[in-house]
Amino acid sequence: MFTDEFDIENVQTIENAQPETEQVSEPARIVNQPKKPSTPNWGGIVALVLVCSLVFGGVGGYLGYKIGNLDKTTVVINQPTPDIKIGDNNVIYDATVDVVNKVSPAVVAIMVDSVQKVENPYGGIFDDFFNNRGNTPQYRVQKSSGSGFIIKAPWANNGDSYIITNNHVVDGATKITIHLLDKRHFECKIVAVDRITDVALLKVEGVKDLPSVEFGDSVSLKVGQPVVAIGNPYQYEATVTTGVVSALARNISMENGQLPYVGIIQTDAAINPGNSGGPLLTLDGKVIGINFMMDARAQGIGFAISSNTASKVAEDLIKYGKVSWPYLGISGTTMSEDIARQFGIKFIEGAYVAEVDDGPAKEGGMLRADIITAIGDKPIKDFDSLLLDVRSRKVGDKVTLTINRKGKEQKLEVILGKAPTNPNR
């Protein structure tokens, strides 16, 4: 920084200044003197900061006061509150407690005895020692457990109480005992089963007026809705877990070749071995699913058979002793860009037919690599929606399938057949 100073001898002070005249005074001479570093005026800076603080603080306080008193312009945003009502309670915690108290008496622990053949691991060399001449088969009683719930069947006029559970819980049973929350226990028998949906119907002979629950409407379910599971995991009776509906209308294909499970409810409520057959409940205490499966590879992924499916199965089993499910006789997948590129065809939304069995679809003219784009007037965008639509119909129904075959649209008339209990696929 350059600093210039005047010669003090030639600068007049205010006190010695003369009145102005026409004479022009000689300019002050600039004297070159050694340069000195300048010193900031810290006192002035501090004073300026204090003044600014006082000014802005006062203005801010005044504005805050005025805004705080503008009642007429204040906006209040009210967040919506979920309408969950059981009695006078609006809290999920209280609702869950109410559901447990209401439903638990009708949830049963199921104890199963079954006979299994035991193979001699040492072969026939020890047959004489074990008095097993002639290689007579050896058997033992296998004990297992599951869950279930009692329903009052509106389709039965005699007021009998029926127990709903999974078929895989009681499959091969030689003795079935149910345990109630009130410590009573009864032997029961299998009325009928439906292997396609994994539903079994049991009955206690000579006992009426047991506590019971009602089916709800699974169609009205929404993803994120709170649910409660009650069951008998690892024989810990009346165990309660909670969660939400994670997804709806899942279709689960099995590796053993049976027909896929359709319209399945997914939940993150804990479902463990022994929970199978127990109820999945909404907060109004209605059964909207039968817990039957978990994904062992993950945590918080469980599945339940929808109540609408279970209710139809129970009604048919009571009335007719069996359930007749319609089917097309095809296997396939949802059409994708990858499939289109693989087979050199144009991509369109629909259900890709991978194989055609001997059955209704083949009789109607269906071929491998056809793409089903509609059933009746309903567009088909994926294979799951095709399965759901077919399963909702009756055996013997005639349906019109719109297909795309090598780029050309065609219509096929197919009469739905009766699904075999153990189909090849």
Contact 403, 366 (CB under 8 A): yes
Residue type, 97: V
Active-site annotation holder among 160, 194, 198, 370:
198
Query: Is 144 annotated as catalytic?
Result: no
Active-site annotation holder among 144, 145, 218, 276:
276
- Taking the C-alpha atoms of residue 279 and residue 146, their distance in angstroms, rounded to an integer, is 12
**How is residue 176 written in tokens?**
């079935």
- For residue 147, the tally of other CB atoms under 10 A from its CB is 31
Query: Is 168 annotated as catalytic?
Result: yes
**Three-state SS at 409:** strand
Count of alpha carbons within 13 angstroms of residue 414, beta-carbon side: 33
Active-site annotation holder among 168, 212, 284, 324:
168
Query: Is 198 annotated as catalytic?
Result: yes
Q: Kindly provide the residue ranges of all beta strands, DSSP E only, lying in 198-342, ordered along the sequence.
A: 199-208, 226-231, 239-252, 261-267, 279-281, 287-294, 302-306, 326-327, 330-334
Contact 370, 403 (CB under 8 A): yes
- Taking the C-alpha atoms of residue 378 and residue 375, their distance in angstroms, rounded to an integer, is 5
Q: Which residues are identified as catalytic?
A: 168, 198, 276
